[in-house]
Amino acid sequence: MNNPYKSALSAVKILLVFAGIAQAEPFVINSAGSKVVGSAIQSAPDGTILLTTLNGQTLTFRKGCYRRAYADKPKEIFQVEKLVKEKNLIAVAELLRRVKEEYQFLGWDQRASLMLARVYLPMKQFEDSAREYEALFVVQPQLKENLKERSNYMQALLGSERIDEVAKMIDEDIASGSREAAARAQVVRGDMKMKSGQTEEALLDYLRTAILFKAQEDVLPEATYKTAVALKKMNDPCAEEYFQKVINEFPGSEYAELAKEK
């Protein structure tokens, strides 16, 4: 039996948060927009930032008197990256909660929060995932317009039994005019039907997405894989054909790895 905490799908999604983030010196962007680089940085619960400059001077920035502050890459993040590759999501979540608390106002709190929101999904801690996303939407409203994160958030709501909210977001996305938003929403609608035991109706949503949204390449692996899962649940022999389709046509996707396990 597959361990949900060791999902290849989860590992790939999570790693994206830190892609391209390298080690850097701590710095503060002051209210004038100038970057002040230091050798060490600390934050207080009230948002005050203490930056030790390269010559050893300590500068104090009160909340509201700086635009943003960043610490260098926490040592815990190097551990997180290793644990993600090992697919040990329980240990990952523990470390991320520590980073979120200890690096408040220093950039890494929000990054850790986003990663936690993703980690909680395969751990089936849907309410925790939704809570992380909702806190992030307050400080980063644009994140809710990111179609991938919006789709993840809908999954968190669905798992939390907040069905009416999911249905409303699906309707909004299908009516938005965005092909990608509509494709992702249709897959989530399939998930909603699958959750309620409407396997045939779910299959139609997945299959419709796979057939009618071929230009939305980011969504195709998931739609095709879930088509196969629905067919398998219905004991349809065509399921194997669709699992193989995922493996052959989307070999680099996380869904190809999941299909191989079927």
CA angle 133/261/227 to nearest 5° reads: 65
Q: Which of 77, 61, 58 is nearest to 69 (CA)?
A: 61
What are the structural domain ranges in the chain?
A: 4-129, 162-260
pLDDT at position 86, please? Answer: 83
Task: Say whether 162-260 and 4-129 share the same fold.
Answer: no
The CATH code of domain 162-260 reads: 1.25.40
pLDDT of the chain, 262 residues: tens digit per residue: 344 444 545 554 665 566 555 557 999 999 999 999 999 999 999 999 999 999 999 999 999 999 999 999 899 988 988 888 888 899 999 999 999 999 999 999 999 999 999 999 999 999 999 999 999 999 999 999 999 999 999 999 999 999 999 999 999 999 999 999 999 999 999 999 999 999 999 999 999 999 999 999 999 999 999 999 999 999 999 999 999 999 999 998 889 989 998 7
Which fold would CATH assign to domain 4-129? SH3 type barrels. (2.30.30)
